[in-house]
Chain A
Amino acid sequence: MNKKVSVYRKEHFNAAHRLHNPAWDEQKNNAVFGKCNNPNFHGHNYELDIKITGEPGADTGFVIDLKFLSDLIKETVLEKLDHKNLNLDVPEFAELNPTVENIAIVIYNILRSKIDENLDLQIRLYETERNFAEYPAS
C-alpha cells in the first residue's frame, strides 16, 4: 500500500511589486498589465503553502521535520521577500517579471536543492484570496 503522506507548512510575506516588461512601450504595458503596471508599485500579503510528500520515517514518524522546514523557509525565502520590493530588492527578479507564477517558480528553485530529493515539493502561492499559482503543476 502507498504510505505516502503530504505535509504542509503555511507562511506569509508582505511585499511590493510591479508587473512590467521593459521591452514594451508604456501603452502595451498598460494594455497588458493594467493597474498592476503602476510605476510606483503596489503590494500584496502573499500566502505561501509549501507541500512536502513522502513516507513517514520509521524512527520519527515525520515525512519532514516541520521545524526544520519552517526555519529553512524563513532563512532562504522570507528573509529575501518579506517587507521587500520584489522588483528592486530581490536579485532573482532583476530581469524576471514578479508575477505570482514566477515567484512560485523562484521559491521552488530556492528550496528544491535544500530538501531531500526523495521528497516531492510543491509550492502554492496566493497573491490574493482569489488568485494563486501552484508549481510544479500536478
Chain B
Amino acid sequence: MLFLTRIEHFNAAHKLFNPSWSKEKNESVFGKCANENWHGHNYELHVTIKGEVSADTGFVVNAKVLSSLIKEYVLEKLDHKNLNLDVDFLKGKMCSTENLAIEIWKQLFPHLPQGVQLYCVKLYETQRIFVEYFGD
C-alpha cells in the first residue's frame, strides 16, 4: 500500500457569517472573518489517495488523472470564486476550512478510479491554519 498526494491551489473569497445570528454575535464569534464584504485566501489543497502499485505502470494512480479529477470536480468550482455565493455544494453551510475540506472529499470520492481509495483531504487556509479530513 502506498500514499500518493497531489497538491493544488485555488484563490477564493469567503466570510464566516451565521445568518441566524445578529451582526454583533457574528463579530464576537468570528472577529474580522465576519466582514460582510468578504475577505480571501490562497488555499492550498493536498489530496492523498492510497492503493497498490501497479506492476504495469509503477503507479498507484496516474498523477495526471488525479490532477484532472481535482480540476474538474473541485478547482473549476472554487478557484477565483466567492465560496459563500458561487459554490453549489456550500450553499446553506458555513464556509469554514473544516466544511470546505469535508465537501471537497464528497466531490472527489465518487469519481476515483477503481482500486484507489481517497485517504485524506488536507486544506491550508493560510500557512498556519490547515485541516485534515480522513472521511468518516
* Chain A interface residues (CB < 8 Å from chain B): 12, 14-17, 35-36, 38, 40-45, 82-85, 88-89, 128-129
Interchain CB contact under 8 A, A45 and B42: yes
Interchain CB contact under 8 A, B79 and A43: no
Interface residues of B in 9-59 (CB under 8 A from A): 9, 11-14, 32-33, 35, 37-42
Residue of B nearest to A81 (CB): B39
Contacting residues, chain B, for A129 (C-beta < 8 A): 42
Q: A43-B11, A45-B126 are in contact. Are A15 and B79 (CB under 8 A)?
A: no
Residue of B nearest to A35 (CB): B80
- A-B interface pairs (CB < 8 A), number: 78
In the assembled complex, the Cα of A17 lies from the Cα of B80 at a distance in Å of 10
Min CB–CB distance B77 → chain A (angstroms)? 12
In the assembled complex, the Cα of A45 lies from the Cα of B43 at a distance in Å of 8
Interchain CB contact under 8 A, B13 and A42: yes
Interchain CB contact under 8 A, B12 and A88: no
Contacting residues, chain B, for A128 (C-beta < 8 A): 9, 11, 42
